[in-house]
């Protein structure tokens, strides 16, 4: 290990650092860690706030994706839209929600857009998205308002929140990232039941307008306290050069830090980022398919509205809780084994939904809705944690933006193209195809390996 003397340092991203002592240490691979500053030195309070505030904001924007399926029937009747129209509105929303992650990350890392500004802009665009869904009858204008503007707004909030928690918890990012990511699913639960039981053509303007205001206010309030740590920052009480033993380093033993800070071009050249992108495309497509069609499939089979709403509620809750659980597990099992397990569960659940529908078994349907919700959300925080594990934190906003951009392709075949498959093959055929796609994605995930380490090796402390 090489270490510089403790001195007053500075960072362009953190001008206050001139008043704080820190030192930089270098490991055997040449990676630099900035140590000596606690979270309280930088923030004035515990870094735990950088978990809870992103979590609250993520719960607010979850209504966009996870409750939309429950509102489709009313929206169709109110605006005169077809089922295909409503599916394509969500598909466009997914496209832009995922697509903005990379450019937003690039702007953040160039210092053009701070985390706080990204959240402020995103909150206003979220409000505009719901106002468009409420007041625009023309489907193309609704696509522009809710799909494009609302999608970009929600994407800015999502990407900023995920990257924020990853930067502040480099040594235990699995559990924290999973917890924050979980809010993006179960935060929608109250709205799923509102849309199923208290949402109709008589009140849809008022309900959608109020939801838009709610999202904007919650995101604005959370964003006020957002702040990134300095580049290369590492918590003062954890030795980044020791990767085994002790409670604090338990996660590092299974998920050692990246050997260096990879730029996006370097990350792509490793071959691992493209593999992650392909796996996200396939897995997210299956997840979005389930979100889009589960309520409709339940009604098609003959299950009552309570079972249909409950199945979506179960999916949303388990989708969110599962993200936190697998994040915690990945700190102990390792990120890659946990990821493969989750994707396989998602695939099995698709075939299980077919089985439950054929048997007309409501309880079995809820069981597989449980498993589908678990698998359909849990892979997101794993990729969010795996990206900085493989490529480092300094360019994580951009690198994860590239990985997450796979979801923009998923939105097309998970929602819009999924509706075409249902029309052509029926629900059984569509769910069988989704299950097969999941299994292929799991096989691709098996090929992932951390760049810079030989097979079977782990990082070692520098001499």
pLDDT, tens digit, for every residue of 329-381? 888 888 999 999 999 999 999 899 889 888 888 788 888 878 887 888 889 88
Using DSSP bridges, classify how beta strands 7-8 and 2-3 pair: parallel, antiparallel or unpaired: unpaired
For every residue of 180-197, DSSP letters joined together read HHHHHHHTTHHHHHHHHH
Least confident window among 61-75, 95-109, 172-186, 291-305: 291-305
Q: Is the pLDDT of residue 390 over 70?
A: yes
- Which is higher by pLDDT, 354 or 252? 354
pLDDT at residue 19, as a whole number? 56
Check pLDDT > 50 for residue 1: no
- β-bridge mates for residue 157, sequence order: none
d(CA 330, CA 430): 31
Find the Cα–Cα–Cα–Cα dihedral 97, 99, 100, 101, rounded to 10°.
Answer: 100
pLDDT for the residue 312: 65
Asked if residue 238 has pLDDT above 50, the reply is yes
Whether the pLDDT of residue 245 is over 70: the answer is no
User: Can you tell me the distance from the alpha carbon of 15 to that of 248, in angstroms, rounded to the nearest whole number?
Assistant: 29
Identify the band that residue 322 occupies on the pLDDT scale cut at 50, 70 and 90.
confident
Give the pairing type, strands 21-26 and 32-35: antiparallel
Note whether 25 and 35 are within 8 A (CB): yes
Phi, psi of 405 (to 5 degrees): -65, -15
Kindly report which listed range (136-140, 293-297, 386-390, 453-457) carries the lowest average pLDDT score: 453-457
Query: What are the residues whose beta carbons fall under 8 Å from the beta carbon of 254, sequence distance 6 or more?
Result: 330, 331, 332, 333, 334, 335
Helix H or strand E segment including 35: strand 32-35
Question: Mean per-residue pLDDT for 273-292?
Answer: 88
The pair of three-digit structure tokens given for residue 261, joined into one six-digit string? 């800070």
Q: Contact 345/290 with Cβ under 8 angstroms?
A: no
Q: Tens digit of pLDDT for each residue in 91-147?
A: 889 889 988 989 998 998 888 999 999 999 999 999 999 999 999 999 999 999 999
Question: Which domains does the chain possess?
Answer: 2-37 (no CATH), 49-228+245-445 (1.20.1250.20)
Q: Where are the alpha helices (DSSP H) in 136-150?
A: 139-142
**pLDDT given at position 311:** 66
How far is Cα 227 from Cα 168, in angstroms, rounded to an integer? 10
Please report which helix (H) or strand (E) contains residue 68, including its range.
helix 68-79
């Amino acid at each position: 290990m090489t270490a510089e003397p403790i001195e007053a340092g500075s960072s362009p991203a953190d001008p206050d650092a001139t008043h704080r002592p820190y030192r930089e240490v270098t490991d055997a691979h040449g990676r630099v860690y900035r140590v000596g500053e606690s979270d309280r030195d930088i923030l004035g309070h515990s870094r735990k706030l950088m978990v809870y505030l992103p979590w609250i904001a993520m719960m607010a924007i979850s209504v966009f994706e996870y409750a939309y399926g429950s509102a489709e029937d009313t929206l169709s009747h109110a605006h005169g839209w077809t089922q295909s129209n409503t599916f394509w509105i969500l598909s466009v929303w997914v496209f832009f929600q995922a697509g903005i992650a990379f450019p937003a990350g690039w702007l953040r890392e160039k210092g053009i857009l701070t985390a706080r500004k990204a959240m402020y802009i995103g909150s206003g665009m979220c409000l505009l998205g719901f106002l468009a869904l409420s007041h625009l009858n023309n489907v193309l204008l609704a696509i522009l308002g809710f799909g494009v503007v609302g999608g970009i707004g929600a994407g800015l909030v999502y990407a900023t929140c995920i990257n924020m928690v990853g930067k502040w918890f480099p040594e235990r990012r699995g559990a924290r990232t999973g917890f924050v990511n979980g809010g993006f699913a179960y935060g929608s639960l109250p709205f799923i039941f509102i849309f199923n039981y208290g949402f109709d053509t008589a009140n849809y303007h008022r309900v959608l307008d109020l939801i838009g205001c709610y999202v904007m206010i919650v995101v604005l309030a959370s964003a006020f306290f957002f702040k990134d740590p300095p580049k290369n920052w590492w918590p003062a009480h954890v030795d980044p050069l020791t990767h085994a033993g002790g409670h604090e380093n338990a996660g590092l033993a299974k998920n050692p830090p990246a050997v260096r800070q990879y730029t996006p071009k370097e990350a792509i050249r490793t071959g691992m980022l493209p593999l992650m992108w392909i796996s996200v495309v396939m897995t997210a497509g299956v997840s979005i398919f389930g979100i889009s069609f589960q309520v409709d499939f339940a009604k098609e089979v003959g299950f009552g509205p309570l079972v249909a709403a409950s199945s979506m509620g179960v999916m949303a809750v388990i989708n969110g809780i599962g993200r936190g659980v697998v994040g915690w597990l990945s700190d102990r099992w390792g990120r890659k084994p946990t990821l493969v397990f989750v994707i396989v569960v998602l695939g099995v659940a698709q075939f299980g939904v077919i089985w439950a529908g054929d048997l007309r078994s409501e309880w079995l349907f809820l069981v597989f809705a449980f498993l589908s919700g678990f698998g359909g959300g849990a892979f997101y925080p794993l990729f969010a944690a795996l990206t900085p594990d493989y490529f480092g934190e300094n360019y994580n906003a951009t690198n994860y933006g590239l990985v997450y951009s796979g979801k923009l392709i998923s939105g097309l075949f998970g929602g819009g193209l999924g509706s075409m498959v249902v029309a052509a093959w029926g629900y059984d055929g569509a769910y069988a195809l989704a299950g097969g796609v999941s299994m292929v994605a799991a096989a691709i995930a098996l090929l992932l390996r951390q760049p810079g380490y030989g097979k079977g090796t782990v990082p070692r402390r520098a001499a």
